[in-house]
Amino acid sequence: MVLRQGIRHFFPSLRSFSSSAVTCDAHISNIGKVPIKIPPGVTLTPSPTALSVQGPLGTTTVHLHPFVQLTFQDPNTVAVTVDDSSEKKQRSMWGTTRTFISNAIVGTSEGFKVPLNLVGVGYRAALEEDPRGKGDGRSGQRLSMKLGYSHVVYIAVPENIKAEVPQPTKIILSCIDKYQVGQFAADIRRWRKPEPYKGKGIFVGDEVIRIKTVKKK
């Protein structure tokens, strides 16, 4: 009790200062508060419910909630805010919306690339024409992969994703949408997930697994 009174004697405003600081920090999104730089060649067109992002590689749209506000501080910078940051949903969507807009800008200006490496004896991949042609979300091309099965695995390439096979054991996917290219890479990886004993499988990017030792009887 004496110690507590002594602290208050030297720092009378300690309690009020600490509580206000915690309250303010709790209502701020560390990601959402960072302004977004707009590179040359990228145009943002906002509407009440969406933001259209147009760049050299294409055009995409980011959905906007009614409580999200965009402020163009200058021609090359946009800031994202919300009406009431003390509300949990608005605070969570603050940073999420900022991330979506940033990814859209990077995707339309630079694009996203995801490499996949086929590791295993006899594992091979090739890019060929899809006999079904274009339509229903297909680009007209498909991946033909030998993954140790008794049959060849065929995967149609979506129309908005570009696939390249520079080497028989390497596939490069590119797209302006980070989520779509990541999801397609995960779909390919699912056919032969990396296993921890021989280190075989389809590895996405710089993926590394820990090799386990086989227990001998």
**SS3 assignment, position 3:** helix
Q: What pLDDT sits at residue 205?
A: 92
pLDDT by residue (tens digit) across 108-123?
Answer: 999 999 999 999 999 9
- Whether 8 maps to a domain, the answer reads no
| E strand residue ranges, the chain | 36-37, 43-46, 50-55, 58-63, 68-74, 77-82, 112-119, 124-129, 138-146, 153-158, 162-167, 170-175, 201-204
Q: What is the model's pTM? A: 0.80
Q: What pLDDT sits at residue 25?
A: 54
Number of structural domains in the chain: 2
Structural domain including 66 reads 36-110
- Whether 209 maps to a domain, the answer reads no
Residues 198 and 121 in one domain: yes
Residues 101 and 124 in one domain: no
Rounded to whole angstroms, the Cα distance separating 111 from 175 reads: 6
Q: What is the CATH number of the domain that holds 148?
A: 3.90.930.12
Query: Which tokens hold the place of 53?
Result: 């992002």
**Listed residues 92, 110, 128: the one ending a domain:** 110
**Listed residues 110, 144, 166: the one ending a domain:** 110
Does the structure show a pLDDT above 90 at 101?
yes
Does the structure show a pLDDT above 80 at 8?
no
Residues 145 and 183 in one domain: yes
Q: What pLDDT sits at residue 214?
A: 75
